[in-house]
Amino acid sequence: MKPRILIVDDNENSLILLSTKMEADGYEAETARNGLEALKKVASSHPDLILLDVMMPVMDGYEACRRLKSTEETRYIPVVMLTARGELEDKVTGLELGAEDYIVKPYSLVEVSARVKSLLRMRALQSKLNETEKMAALGEMVDGIAHEIRNPLTTIGGMARRLFEHETDEEHKRYADVITKAVLRMERMMQRIDEYKGILVSRLSPGGINGVLNDAVAEVKTLTGGKSITIKTDLMPDPPELNMDKTNLKVAILNILQNSVDAIEKEGEITVSTLPAQDNTLIVSIHDTGSGMDEEVLKKVFHPFHTSKMTGAGLGLAITYRIIQDHMGTIEVESERGKGTTFTIKFYIPPGAAAPSLR
Ligand SMILES: Nc1ncnc2c1ncn2[C@@H]1O[C@H](COP(=O)(O)OP(=O)(O)OP(=O)(O)O)[C@@H](O)[C@H]1O
Ligand SMILES: [Mg+2]
């Protein structure tokens, strides 16, 4: 999704100039003509950044900024004040009100462009950091709980199995069986938690991605459980070497592929491809024609213990996320209910590795 920039200015020419520039930079531009209108737009369209003129009728930029920064939902949207007056006092007022940056008019569009880019990048890093911290804290907590649960669980499972073996009353036998199955499910979860802990360290060394992808594909082919699934690969012939932990990376890919298999009800297709991309990166894309996800599931897809499956631990993608992070890569997902899902992993090619040849 394109980042959305709200431009607030009472001068029609400035609005046109700035929105044209923002759109040319690849953003979605929205406009408002005074502070009040801006607040309304913010509430309805949740911009990623606001360019805010100071002198405007109805409500000036300072007042709009003050209100934005005193409301929890809007506090974290970066605000750049556009001030006509170069007076120190004006700059300070804006910053004191919580604006992230200011630009003095007459501004150069190149400067506006650079400031916007840098603030958006900082905001993206910040939110990634929050997410990572949240996931690490959650992981630790869960690990602690799992540790406490493991022994009693073994006892319950053992007792239930003995009851099942010795019980003669059919109904009681059934209860024991239900308990055994529930315990098995929890034990599977514990196993996943161990796996989660086990992959905490990735030891990176240079290697080729194709081997890892082919291994993972070969393995998932044995796990399709009788469904009619075509798994295709479309890999670059000589990809540049990446710094990787082959074992962990295979786990990461396999978790994605296993989900794709789960998402396909009876028949479908999974495609694993690699392609060179800009900025010296290599992209691995995994697409399936499965059930897809709606917004709510999509938002939490990488969170530990988020699952929609009866027997899922909800850890597969949390593990994948963690491994990709250890490889200094990024992972994103796009999905549409009823259509399918695409995971895109981006790896940075270390300097010195041969650049990928364009197909
Ligand atoms: N390719 C996909 N298509 C549709 N839904 C998906 C896909 N990948 C993930 N999901 C959704 O995201 C959830 C989380 O996936 P994740 O792999 O983390 O856990 P899980 O598969 O439920 O359990 P586990 O992998 O630990 O056995 C899944 O339960 C499913 O709802
Ligand atoms: Mg899974």
pLDDT tens across 264-284, in order?
999 999 999 998 777 788 999
Residue 287 alpha carbon to ligand 2 centre in Å: 15
The average pLDDT across 345-359 equals 68
Q: What is the DSSP letter of 308?
A: -
Helix segments in the chain, DSSP class H: 12-24, 35-45, 61-69, 88-96, 109-166, 170-198, 209-221, 246-263, 295-299, 316-326
* Cβ(19) – ligand 1 distance below 6 Å: no
For residue 300, which ligand has an atom nearest its CA?
A: 1
pLDDT at 97: 83
pLDDT at 130: 77
Sheet holding 330-336, edge to edge: 228-234, 267-277, 281-288, 340-348, 330-336
Residue 353 alpha carbon to ligand 2 centre in Å: 33
Instruction: Please calculate the CA angle 73-78-79 and round it to the nearest 5 degrees.
Output: 105
Which atom of ligand 1 lies at the shortest distance from residue 301's CA?
12
Residue labelled with tokens 């790896």? 347
Asked whether 53 and 82 are in contact (CB, 8 A), the reply is yes
The residue whose C-alpha atom lies closest to atom 27 belonging to ligand 1 is: 312
Residue 259: pLDDT band with limits 50, 70, 90 = very high
Distance CA 50, CA 39 (A): 11
Residue 181 alpha carbon to ligand 2 centre in Å: 20
* Cβ(317) – ligand 1 distance below 6 Å: yes
* Cβ(259) – ligand 1 distance below 6 Å: yes
* Cβ(31) – ligand 1 distance below 6 Å: no
Q: Could you give the 3-state DSSP secondary structure of residue 72?
A: coil
For residue 297, which ligand has an atom nearest its CA?
A: 1
Architecture of the domain delimited by 4-107: 3-Layer(aba) Sandwich (3.40)
Partners of 7 in the β-ladder: 31, 51
Q: What is the DSSP letter of 108?
A: P
pLDDT at 358: 42
The residue whose C-alpha atom lies closest to atom 13 belonging to ligand 1 is: 307
Q: How many CA atoms lie within 13 A of 260 on its CB side?
A: 31
* Cβ(293) – ligand 1 distance below 6 Å: yes
**Quick check: 65 pLDDT over 60?**
yes
pLDDT tens-digit readout, 197-242 = 766 678 899 999 999 999 999 999 999 988 999 999 999 988 889 9
Residue 85: pLDDT band with limits 50, 70, 90 = low
Structure tokens at 14: 């400035």
CA 22, chain centre distance (Å): 25
Residue 5: pLDDT band with limits 50, 70, 90 = very high
**Quick check: 351 pLDDT over 90?**
no
Where does 205-348 sit in CATH, by number? 3.30.565.10
